[in-house]
Amino acid sequence: MRPVLVTKVEKPAPGGTGPRVVIDRLELDSDQRSSPHFSVHTELGVKLQVSLDRGAEIEDRDVLVSEDGYAVSVVAAEEDLLIIQPGENAQDWAAICYQLGNLHRPLRVAGNEILTPRDAQAEAFLIKLGATFRRESRPFTGRKLGAVARHHHHGHQDGGH
């Protein structure tokens, strides 16, 4: 059976998923949601070939739509994260976000928390900085800050940092 070609993402209407009837569901992690091209099977076993416009990003609760109208609801998968709570001090927020960015760490802001994927390097950095954080498994969602591209490249020999 040929995969269903998905070429469009629809954002949910406030309070729902929108005017489309959605009969299938798809759980995606943050790497999958930020990729415009991938193949995956839905919960009902339908194979999707996702091919979105360059720069398109899928968010939790979005609906992927094929050219023939097949609609799949996206759910953000739980991931191992570090949840950082810088408090009220703007300088603490700035220092943590700047340093995580300097380490090329993806981050999101959700309420009064900064989220980043869990790994030993990030944990060691946060301990050294004296930041308050915890480990938690939850969807990596929230507001992105700046241009948080997964494939950021620049020459370090040209003084890029």
Site of tokens 């946060």 = 126
Q: Please answer whether residues 85 and 66 qualify as being in contact, where contact means their C-beta atoms are separated by less than 8 angstroms.
A: no
Q: Are residues 8 and 72 in the same domain?
A: yes
Looking at the fold, whether 67 and 104 belong to one and the same domain comes out as no
Q: Which amino acid makes up residue 149?
A: A
The number of C-alpha atoms within 13 Å of 29 and in the hemisphere containing its C-beta is: 7
How many distinct structural domains can be found in the chain?
2
Q: Please write the tens of the pLDDT for every residue from 127-145.
A: 998 899 999 999 999 998 7
Question: Which CATH number is 34's domain given?
Answer: 2.60.260.20
Average pLDDT for residues 9-30, to the nearest whole number? Answer: 81
* Entry pTM: 0.79
Domain that holds residue 91: 78-144
User: What does the pLDDT look like over 57-81, one tens digit per residue?
Assistant: 899 999 999 988 899 999 999 999 9
105 shares a domain with 67 = no
Residue 102, classed as helix, strand or coil, is helix
- Inter-residue contact 75 to 27 (CB < 8 Å): yes
